[in-house]
Structure 1
Amino acid sequence: MKLVVVSAGLSVPSSTRLLADRLAAAVDRKVPADIQVVELRDLAVEIAHNFTNGFPGRSLAAALDAVTEADGLIAVTPVFSASYSGLFKSFFDVLDKDALAGKPVLIAATGGSARHSLVLDHALRPLFAHLRAVVVPTGVYAASEDWGAEGLPDRIERAAEELTALTRGLSTPHKEKKQPELTVVPFAEQLAALSASPGA
Structure 2
Amino acid sequence: MSKVLVISGSPSPTSKTELVGDYIARRLAENEWHAGHLKVRALPAEPLLRADTAHPRIATALDQVAQADGIVLATPTYKASFSGLLKTFLDLLPQYGFTHKVVLPLATGGSTAHVLVLDYALRPVAHSLGARHVVQSFFLLDKHMTRDSGGLHIRSESTGMLDDVIEQFRKALVAPF
Q: TM-score scaled to structure 1, two decimals? A: 0.77
Structure 2 partner of 1:117: 115
Which of 127, 131, 156 does residue 129 from structure 1 map onto? 127
Tell which structure's C-alpha radius of gyration is larger.
1
Q: Distance in 1 between matches of 2:25 and 2:176?
A: 19
Percent sequence identity is 32
Q: Distance in 1 between matches of 2:61 and 2:12?
A: 20
Gaps (5+ residues) in structure 1?
172-200
Structure 1 partner of 2:42: 42
Q: Which amino acid aligns with 1:39?
A: K
Q: TM-score scaled to structure 2, two decimals? A: 0.86
**Secondary structure in 1 matching 2:76:** strand
Aligned residues: 166
Q: How does 1:62-101 map to 2 (within 5 A)?
A: 62-101=60-99
Q: Distance in 1 between matches of 2:19 and 2:53?
A: 31
Runs of 4+ in 1 over 3 A off after TM superposition: none
Deviation at 1:113, TM superposition (A): 2.0
More helix by share: 1
Gaps (5+ residues) in structure 2?
146-153
Q: Distance in 1 between matches of 2:38 and 2:138?
A: 19
Structure 1 partner of 2:15: 14
Q: Give per-residue Cα distances to partners, 1:121-174, cap 9 Å, x unaligned.
A: 1111111111121111x2121121122434211221111111111111148xxx
Q: Which amino acid aligns with 1:60?
A: I
Q: Give per-residue Cα distances to partners, 1:37-84, cap 9 Å, x unaligned.
A: 11111223321121xxx5431111101001111011111011111001
Q: CA RMSD in A?
A: 1.6
